Structure formats: structure tokens, C-alpha cells
Amino acid sequence: MIPCLVNSLRRLAGWLLIVPLLCPAITAHAGLAIALNSADGTLSLIDTETYQVTGKVAVCKEPHHLMPTPDDKSLIVACAASNQLVFFDPNTGQEQKRIRNISDPYQLGFSPNRKWFVATSLRLDRVDLYNPNDFQLVARLPAPKTPSHMAFDNDSQFVFVTLQDSNEIMAISLGTQTIAWVIPVAATPAGIMMAPDNRHLLVACMGAGVVEVIEWRTRKSVMKIATGTAAHNLQPKGDGRHYYVSNRTIDGSISLLDTQTMTVVEKYEVPGGPDDMIVRADGKELWTTARFARKVQVLDLVTKKIKQSIAVGSSPHGVFFTNHAGLR
């Protein structure tokens, strides 16, 4: 009996060694998407394989934007009305920590060299510069009117901020923590990105329905590219060349901008007020929040059609998952 028992235990031990090897292949395929519902103050947790909402997490009052930390280990939610940052595990949706006394954070950004953390205060008309290691305030700069989105140059010398209600963009020198310049752009600038050439700023101007191209070193407008009514935000495709532009209206659309030719090469119908976007790592899907429809729309980039329409909370603003394409 003892030899039989020993053989059975050996066989069992062999199976136990095999099971852990099998499990990662199963669980790694699953993923979590997190959608921020600004009006509800919640996060919707979505299974990226089944497209089903699996839970909802309370956050704070008036969370408007979310962004990952540079290592993707945390997802930061900016709580404007409650003056704090809330960190979540992007793989589980579990809260990690809260940092308080961050005044009116609306949009967030880390400089490429990770030496600066910047928050715009849209309601209070100012931009705050923080030490990203301890989130202590370093400088607070007044902004002409309604600072919104931001972008950095590749060398982390400047942060560029759109000023929605004064139709301008502002450059802040990170080295001196001072305003370097302010220049006019088309009506109601919102999203802003640095082009891959590190020479041109791409500014989505809602009031004009264009992406305005700015040569930031000479402070000159190069061109205005019509993308669609209420051009609002930009998202890299991840190939170092193309950017998606959300045109945020009820009918809605998303344009694909080629930054080498500075032309719109494709356009997709995405109803419900498309806003913030993210692209799957395999390049097959674009996820976008639909602000006016209370949904997350999943665009199939192969068929160019809406693949899934996922009901979430009120005024969904941002969406994120770790299995994403490059963010530049």
C-alpha cells in the first residue's frame, strides 16, 4: 500500500506543477477596463473580453480625468471638487491610496523625464507644478482663462496648456517655473498633443472643428486641419505617426490624422459624444467614452464599425486599460 501511496503522491505533485503553468495562460487573456463617470463620481469596471460591466466603485465628487502613472502600476483619478488624487490598481480596480490637498485638479500630466507632475485647475484659472515624488507644490501659476489639457516637449523643457475660454495656448518653462509665452489659436482649444517630430503641437479646437498645427519654437500657426464638428481630444494610435481625434457631438465621429502628411486619412461614425480614447495593444480596437450617451463605445478598427456599446454611468470622461498601445 505504501508504494502505491507514494506513486499517487508523485502523480499528484506532477499535476500540481502543471496547473500553475496552465493558469497564467488562462487568466492573462482576461483584462479590466476602467471608465470614469464624472457626474456620478464613480468608476465602471469592464471585462475587456466579454464587454460586460462587472462592478462600480465610488471615487469622489467631480472626478474629471484619469491617467496612468508612467509605470502603469497605478491609475490616478483627479477629483476637482474634493481636492485630491485617488490611486487605483488598474488591473483590479482596488483603491491604493489618496493624496489630499491637491487643489482643484482637472487634467494631469507627468513630464517625460518624470521630474514634474502638473495639474491644471480649470475652475480656478491656474496651473500647479508638483514634485512627483511627494506631490508637494513647487509653483502655482495664473492662467488667462480656463486651463484645460496639456502636452510636454520630449526634452521636458516646457508644458503647453490649452486655455479654452480665451482661445489661447500657454507655454510654461519647467526649468524656471514661469510662463514663457501665450499665443492665440482657433476657438475653444481642448486636447493638445506633441507631434512625433517634437516640432509641432496639435491642438484640437472644439469651436472651429479643426486641429490647429503650431510650430511651437517659432510660435506660429502652420495650418488648420478640419476633422469634424467639436474636435475635442487626441489619442496616439501607437505607431509613432497617426493620432485619433474625437469630434464630440451627439452624432459624433473620430478622425484618423496622419502627422507626416497632416491630413485626415480615415473617419469613423461614433455617436454619443466621443471624448477620451485608448487603443488596444494589438491595434484592433479603439475604446472611447461617449459623454452624452452614458456609454463606452468600442470601435473595431478592422471593420471600421462600432463593435460594442457598453452602458456605464453619467458623463463618462476617461477610459483606461493596461493592455494598450503606445501613448506617443
Average of per-residue pLDDT values in the chain: 92
The yes-or-no verdict on residue 13 having pLDDT over 70 is no
**Phi/psi zone of residue 146: left (φ > 0), alpha (ψ -120 to 50 degrees), beta?**
left
CB 33 within 8 A of CB 319: yes
Q: What is the DSSP string of 25-62?
A: HHHTT--EEEEEETTTTEEEEEETTT--EEEEEE--SS
Sort strands 178-184 and 168-173 into parallel, antiparallel or unpaired.
antiparallel
The yes-or-no verdict on residue 28 having pLDDT over 70 is no
Cα dist. 313→38, 58, 269 in Å? 8, 11, 22
Query: How confident is the model over 108-151, as pLDDT tens digits?
Result: 999 999 999 999 999 999 999 999 999 999 999 999 899 999 99
| Distance, CA of 103 to CA of 126 (rounded, Å) | 10
| Distance, CA of 227 to CA of 211 (rounded, Å) | 7
Residue that is written with C-alpha cell 494589438 in the block:
282
> What confidence category does residue 30 fall into, taking pLDDT thresholds of 50, 70 and 90?
low
- pTM of the entire predicted model: 0.90
* DSSP code of residue 14: H
Name the nearest CA neighbour of 276 among 12, 78, 18: 78
Helix (H, G, I), strand (E, B) or coil at 2: helix
Measured in residues, the chain has a length of 328
| Distance, CA of 203 to CA of 191 (rounded, Å) | 6
Helix (H, G, I), strand (E, B) or coil at 207: coil
Query: How confident is the model over 219-265, as pLDDT tens digits?
Result: 999 999 999 999 999 999 999 999 999 999 999 999 999 999 999 99
Burial of 17 (0-12, 13-18, 19+ CB in 10 A): exposed
Say which amino acid occupies 51: Y
Q: Which residues have CB under 8 Å from 125's CB, separation 6+? A: 142, 143, 144, 145, 146, 147
Question: What are the residue ranges of helices labelled H in the chain?
Answer: 2-27
Q: What is the DSSP string of 97-125?
A: EEEE---S--EEEE-TTSS-EEEEETTTT
> What confidence category does residue 1 fall into, taking pLDDT thresholds of 50, 70 and 90?
very low
Q: Which residues have CB under 8 Å from 237's CB, separation 6+? A: 243, 244, 256, 279, 283, 325
CB 117 within 8 A of CB 108: yes
pLDDT of residue 5: 39
